[in-house]
Chain A
Amino acid sequence: MIALTAGAAFAGRPRVARSDPATVQIGYLRLLDTRQTISLLDKAPPDNGLAGAKLAITDNNTTGRFMNQQFELSDAPVRDDDDPVAILAGLAEHGIVLMLSDLPADRLIPLADAARAKQVTLFNVQAPDDSLRQENCRDNVIHVAPSRRMLADALAQYLVWKKWSRWVLIYGSHPEDALLADAYRRAAQRFGARIVKEREYKDTGGSRQTDSGVVQTQQQMPVFTQGLPDYDVLVTADENEVFADYLPYRTWDARPVVGSAGLRPVSWDPASESWGGTQLQDRFIRMAHRRMTELDMQAWTACRMIGEAASRTNSVDPAKIMQDTKSADFGVAAYKGQKLSLRDWDWQLRQPILLSDGRTVVSVSPQPGFLHQVTALDTLGIDRPETKCKLR
């Protein structure tokens, strides 16, 4: 259908009169995930991420009409007991060698090694683990999702700018929470904040909010936050949505909550309207009939990077596309006020981080005054001198 449209619109021009456009195929590996959330509003839609990729494919195809290029997406759902390596092999057999990975870190690592043997490049749109950008980095894994350290640094810069520099850190009992807590400790040290007290919130299981749960929460949370030393802000690390969203308005002292609840560092917010964001939000809602999540944005950005490189190189050859994506002058526009590009030491996408209260975008980091000799974006996350990554 796209070929027809292009042919009709450009009849008579040799460059665009070719009948069948060259095709770029992109796979989307996604773990079907039924994670509980504290707020009903945060329940992930069934096409979370996938819808973002689909919109980018549509956008790429609009450009593709003028380039005689076509983009196709293959959705590859991964169930909990499926082997993603086998699914990857199946896609690769169909000639798909550019894939988005919407999988957690422990699934991504074996997948990346299997991918290398098949010349497959993975775009990590989900896992925030810094280890994937450090000791477990791979030359064939591009990190579109921001890392925990990037997110923590983005929030820390704002808190320091706000002069809320005395933090209480509350972290959950899951391994991801420990990693996120580490990222906040590092951020505090880097940007001159002080953690005056830490507390762990143990996940004792059970369901989240229920019909009568609100009564208990109202009693529990003030008690849990009682007896803390003087502090400015409560920083929470709760990736599994066990407690953080219960803290705002329920702390013993009247203090703002940030991190996993309250003011959150995010790669996207459905209320972001700066830098042309309104157009993207409108296009997304028209297509998906819901609002655009962080994962949608990360998947959109990954597919747009591929589309951008395909039009820059005027090629659908995955090797050429990846060469361009990794080159020093590559940049993709993603409604964040500046071009996003890849760090050549770990293939992490540099990006501004939005700070959202769930209603509006409160600020965008890096904050003014946090300087860097190359680009202020590299004040977020692991900078070149700190990298432990050896790309291979």
Chain B
Amino acid sequence: MKWYLAGVLLMAASGPACAYTAYVSNERDNTVSVVDLDQMKTVKTIPVGQRPRGITMTKDGKDILVCASDDDTIQIIDAATLRVVGDLPSGPDPETFALHVSGNPLYVSNEDDNMITVIDVPERKVLAQIPTGVEPEGMAVSPDGQTIVNTSETTNMAHFLDYATRKMVAGVLVDARPRIALFKHDGSEVWVSSELGGTVSVIDPVKHIVTHKISFEVQGLRAEAIQPVGIRFTNDDATAFVALGPANRVAVIDTKTYKVKKLLLVGQRVWQMAFTPDQKYLLATNGLSNDISVIDVERLDVVKSIQVGRLPWGVVVSPK
């Protein structure tokens, strides 16, 4: 209980300074929870399409985009009115996506169709469909905007797609069931989590080779319970956070040594994560305990858990 109390005190001390709002997609409830990070509680629930998973915001912060996987569409939620105001033609079964660094287009993985759909967001129109591996999943755009990385769960690869030509330039094999790909902010590495392989592969995006493989150990847990999914880097790229799924832990990794320096106990089946823009907090969705854990990034402590809908999947944070 001590940490909890400390967390509350800290929050009280920090006051209403952060003024951020988090949006959490609840896969089971077909809703998006709106979480006020001053009050640290869910303030509104928005009904959306079936099986909402991937969630992000447009660069201008005006719209929230949500993959409604089972409705084969991406819904646009107006962040001001918190109402669904339109759809994007996502192709079948959109699971996750990534916006280009310029804010457009959107790259969508069609999990059921072995395709990447490229969408012009303002025009709401499909620009291209690109064949990829079996069950495409994670999607990442390089900081220079020139490379898009897509993971495929059954092909077990990170596919490198060239922005300009929309051609695949390389496929890098990783461990079983790759989920999330993410570039470091300096663009020097792509990290790919393998849910069933239990590892994170560090890939050199120029040479297209795996340079490091990070594995995890949690005392008292069998290896198969450790299933890495979500990845986040601090702005300075010094620290990485990896959500370990049913291990109910978020691993804190020193990106210089690739060593796990701390394991943070969170809720059950921790999945995706998002920083507040000031990087004070990291939010992690806990699918089986229906809440999000709030991690104090500086102190590396879990300070609060906030109840959301059932089976929370993705999370995105915007300034109010």
Total A-B contacts with CB atoms under 8 angstroms apart: 71
* Contact (Cβ within 8 A) A276 B153: yes
Determine if A9 is an interface residue (Cβ-Cβ < 8 Å). Answer: yes
How would you classify the secondary structure of chain B's contact residues: helix, strand, loop or mixed?
Answer: loop
Determine if A387 is an interface residue (Cβ-Cβ < 8 Å). Answer: no
Determine if B101 is an interface residue (Cβ-Cβ < 8 Å). Answer: no
Chain A contacts to B: CB under 8 angstroms: 5, 9-11, 13, 15, 59, 62-63, 65-67, 276, 278-279, 282-283, 304, 308, 311-312, 331-333, 338-339, 375-376
CB-defined contacts of B111 to chain A, threshold 8 Å: 276, 279
| Residue in chain B with minimal CB distance to A312 | B173
Q: Contacts A279-B111, A338-B224, A339-B224 hold; do A66 and B196 have CB atoms under 8 A apart?
A: no
Determine if B309 is an interface residue (Cβ-Cβ < 8 Å). Answer: no
CB-defined contacts of B176 to chain A, threshold 8 Å: 331-333, 339
* Contact (Cβ within 8 A) B168 A9: yes
| Residue in chain A with minimal CB distance to B198 | A339
Partner of B135, one of A5, A279, A375: A279
A46 CB → nearest B CB, Å: 26
Q: Contacts A10-B168, A66-B159, A279-B93 hold; do A331 and B135 have CB atoms under 8 A apart?
A: no
Encoded as 1 (CB less than 8 Å from any A CB) or 0, chain B from 115 to 138 comes to 000000000000000010111000
Q: Contacts A63-B157, A311-B156, A338-B224 hold; do A9 and B131 have CB atoms under 8 A apart?
A: yes
* Contact (Cβ within 8 A) A62 B134: yes
Determine if B177 is an interface residue (Cβ-Cβ < 8 Å). Answer: yes
Known: A63-B156, A331-B176, A339-B197. 8 other contacts (CB 8 A): A10-B168, A62-B114, A66-B133, A67-B171, A276-B135, A279-B135, A339-B196, A375-B224
B71 CB → nearest A CB, Å: 14
CB-defined contacts of A63 to chain B, threshold 8 Å: 133-134, 152, 154-157
| Residue in chain B with minimal CB distance to A311 | B173
CB-defined contacts of B159 to chain A, threshold 8 Å: 66
Encoded as 1 (CB less than 8 Å from any A CB) or 0, chain B from 154 to 179 comes to 11110100000001111101001100
A375 CB → nearest B CB, Å: 7
* Contact (Cβ within 8 A) B196 A331: yes
* Contact (Cβ within 8 A) B168 A62: no
Rounded to whole angstroms, the CA-CA distance of A338 and B246 in the bound complex is: 11
Rounded to whole angstroms, the CA-CA distance of A339 and B154 in the bound complex is: 12
Determine if B237 is an interface residue (Cβ-Cβ < 8 Å). Answer: no
CB-defined contacts of A62 to chain B, threshold 8 Å: 114, 131, 133-134, 155
* Contact (Cβ within 8 A) A333 B196: yes
B137 CB → nearest A CB, Å: 9
B165 CB → nearest A CB, Å: 9
B191 CB → nearest A CB, Å: 20
Rounded to whole angstroms, the CA-CA distance of A62 and B114 in the bound complex is: 8
CB-defined contacts of A332 to chain B, threshold 8 Å: 176
Rounded to whole angstroms, the CA-CA distance of A387 and B81 in the bound complex is: 66
* Contact (Cβ within 8 A) B131 A376: no
Interfacial residues of chain B within 72-109, with CB under 8 A of chain A in the complex: 93
| Residue in chain B with minimal CB distance to A62 | B134
Determine if B222 is an interface residue (Cβ-Cβ < 8 Å). Answer: yes
Query: Which 5 A-B residue pairs are closest in the complex by CB-CB distance?
Result: A66-B171, A63-B155, A338-B224, A333-B176, A339-B196
Please list 6 pairs of residues, one from A and one from B, whose beta carbons are closer than 8 Å in the complex, sorted by A's number.
A59-B134, A59-B154, A276-B135, A283-B112, A338-B224, A376-B222
Partner of A279, one of B112, B197, B224: B112
Rounded to whole angstroms, the CA-CA distance of A13 and B154 in the bound complex is: 24
CB-defined contacts of A5 to chain B, threshold 8 Å: 131
CB-defined contacts of B222 to chain A, threshold 8 Å: 375-376
A282 CB → nearest B CB, Å: 5
| Residue in chain A with minimal CB distance to B135 | A279
A371 CB → nearest B CB, Å: 10
* Contact (Cβ within 8 A) B134 A333: no
Partner of A9, one of B135, B167, B173: B167
Q: Contacts A9-B131, A279-B135, A338-B196 hold; do A66 and B168 have CB atoms under 8 A apart?
A: yes
Rounded to whole angstroms, the CA-CA distance of A9 and B165 in the bound complex is: 11
Max chain A Cβ within 10 angstroms of own Cβ: one of B93, B112, B154, B224:
B154
| Residue in chain B with minimal CB distance to A352 | B224
A373 CB → nearest B CB, Å: 10
B146 CB → nearest A CB, Å: 16
Rounded to whole angstroms, the CA-CA distance of A11 and B152 in the bound complex is: 21
Rounded to whole angstroms, the CA-CA distance of A13 and B171 in the bound complex is: 11
CB-defined contacts of A312 to chain B, threshold 8 Å: 173
CB-defined contacts of B154 to chain A, threshold 8 Å: 59, 63, 304, 333
| Residue in chain B with minimal CB distance to A376 | B222
A352 CB → nearest B CB, Å: 10
| Residue in chain B with minimal CB distance to A286 | B112
CB-defined contacts of B177 to chain A, threshold 8 Å: 276, 333
* Contact (Cβ within 8 A) B114 A10: no
CB-defined contacts of B167 to chain A, threshold 8 Å: 9-11
B289 CB → nearest A CB, Å: 17
Partner of B155, one of A11, A13, A66: A66
Rounded to whole angstroms, the CA-CA distance of A49 and B90 in the bound complex is: 33
CB-defined contacts of B171 to chain A, threshold 8 Å: 66-67
Rounded to whole angstroms, the CA-CA distance of A338 and B134 in the bound complex is: 18
Rounded to whole angstroms, the CA-CA distance of A11 and B224 in the bound complex is: 40
Rounded to whole angstroms, the CA-CA distance of A338 and B176 in the bound complex is: 9
Rounded to whole angstroms, the CA-CA distance of A283 and B114 in the bound complex is: 10
| Residue in chain B with minimal CB distance to A331 | B176
Rounded to whole angstroms, the CA-CA distance of A279 and B135 in the bound complex is: 7
| Residue in chain B with minimal CB distance to A12 | B167
A385 CB → nearest B CB, Å: 19
CB-defined contacts of A9 to chain B, threshold 8 Å: 131, 167-168
Rounded to whole angstroms, the CA-CA distance of A89 and B215 in the bound complex is: 45
Rounded to whole angstroms, the CA-CA distance of A276 and B27 in the bound complex is: 13
Partner of A333, one of B131, B133, B153, B168: B153
CB-defined contacts of B169 to chain A, threshold 8 Å: 13
Rounded to whole angstroms, the CA-CA distance of A276 and B136 in the bound complex is: 11
